[in-house]
């Protein structure tokens, strides 16, 4: 794999070396941070950097243990056969199994990863009677957004304490500008203005937002602007309308955009 094949990622600290150490020492990794700050990109970058296959599972409320491990299916001739789920495939084949936003899955589902996330590194499959032992090139990585946690959606301590943990946050301004330029090819001034808007919106105190604009949304706006869209229209479409359905709130947010791009 060449350097060009590795997804771009601008390191903020020691996360690359920590990931590599976790990988070398067979330690599972937990990545915490807001939506859209690069958690998934970081995992893809590290998988490519280490030359490992990446098995990604987007967790959700209806995710069952069978969705992760596998189930018996009925074939065309009426006979049943076993079909591995993504977690089982990752254990059999090796590579990184990435469970994205793991707290979205039901708690009784996430318990199935416990034997993989401690010294046993095993995956029992009750339906087939197998106990799979993870190969040396297997790594378990999970992520979640602590800002979304509440009593009903939080990671159980018995699960969380099985992992080495990394915390992600919004990039510093200079790093975020570099990300926009690298991802979209936009000019320096556009990147600087978009980052300024993002930071201003993140610091608003009197606006009720479930989430503030992510780096991902800034990238979307930069793509539209780079391809000829009016910057104000691009920011409304790629950022502001994604943050709220409340017209009064969106108009308040647009004031920041207008002040930056000047209308």
Q: Are 98 and 55 in contact (CB under 8 A)?
A: yes
- Mean pLDDT in residue range 43-61: 95
pLDDT number for residue 76: 84
**Average model confidence (pLDDT) across the chain:** 91
- Whether residue 87 is predicted with pLDDT greater than 60 in this model: the reply is yes
Hey, how many other C-beta atoms are within 10 angstroms of the C-beta on 43? 24
- Mean pLDDT in residue range 172-181: 94
pLDDT number for residue 90: 96
pLDDT tens figures, 212-261: 999 999 999 999 999 999 999 999 999 999 999 999 999 999 999 999 98
- Mean pLDDT in residue range 127-147: 92
Question: Which of the four pLDDT bands, split at 50, 70 and 90, describes residue 8?
Answer: confident
- Mean pLDDT in residue range 13-28: 96
Question: Which of the four pLDDT bands, split at 50, 70 and 90, describes residue 151?
Answer: very low
pLDDT number for residue 218: 96
- Whether residue 17 is predicted with pLDDT greater than 60 in this model: the reply is yes
Say which residue, 210 or 50, is predicted with more confidence.
Answer: 50
pLDDT number for residue 260: 92
Name the pTM for this structure: 0.86
CATH number of 3-167: 3.40.50.300
pLDDT number for residue 1: 52
- Whether residue 263 is predicted with pLDDT greater than 70 in this model: the reply is no
pLDDT number for residue 256: 94
Say which residue, 114 or 10, is predicted with more confidence.
Answer: 114
- Whether residue 137 is predicted with pLDDT greater than 70 in this model: the reply is yes
Say which residue, 37 or 27, is predicted with more confidence.
Answer: 27
Angstrom distance (rounded) from CA 103 to CA 154: 6
- Whether residue 196 is predicted with pLDDT greater than 60 in this model: the reply is yes
What percentage of the chain has pLDDT greater than the value 90? 72
- Mean pLDDT in residue range 81-109: 92
- Mean pLDDT in residue range 195-210: 90
Question: Which of the four pLDDT bands, split at 50, 70 and 90, describes residue 180?
Answer: very high
């Amino acid at each position: 794999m060449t350097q060009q094949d590795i997804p771009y990622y601008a390191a903020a600290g020691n996360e690359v070396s920590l990931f590599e150490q976790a990988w070398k020492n067979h330690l599972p990794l937990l990545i915490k941070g807001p939506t859209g700050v690069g958690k998934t990109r970081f995992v893809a970058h590290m998988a490519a950097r280490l030359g490992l296959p990446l098995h990604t599972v987007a967790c959700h409320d209806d995710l069952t243990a069978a969705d992760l491990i596998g189930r018996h299916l009925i074939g065309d001739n009426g006979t049943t056969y076993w079909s591995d789920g993504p977690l089982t495939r990752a254990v059999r084949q090796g590579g990184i199994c990435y469970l994205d936003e793991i707290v979205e899955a039901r708690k009784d589902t996430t318990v199935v990863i416990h034997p993989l996330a401690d010294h046993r590194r095993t995956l029992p499959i009750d339906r087939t009677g197998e106990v799979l032992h993870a190969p040396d090139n297997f790594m378990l990585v999970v992520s979640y957004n602590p800002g979304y946690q509440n009593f009903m959606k939080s990671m159980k301590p018995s699960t969380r304490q099985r992992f080495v943990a990394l915390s992600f946050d919004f990039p510093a301004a200079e790093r975020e500008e570099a990300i926009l330029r690298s991802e979209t090819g936009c000019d320096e001034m556009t990147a600087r203005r978009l980052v300024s808007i993002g930071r201003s919106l993140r610091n608003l105190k009197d606006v009720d937002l479930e989430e503030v604009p992510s780096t991902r949304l800034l990238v979307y706006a930069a793509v539209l602007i780079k391809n000829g869209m009016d910057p104000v229209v691009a920011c409304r479409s790629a950022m502001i309308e994604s943050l709220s359905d409340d017209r009064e709130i969106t108009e308040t947010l647009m004031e920041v955009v207008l002040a930056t791009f000047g209308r």
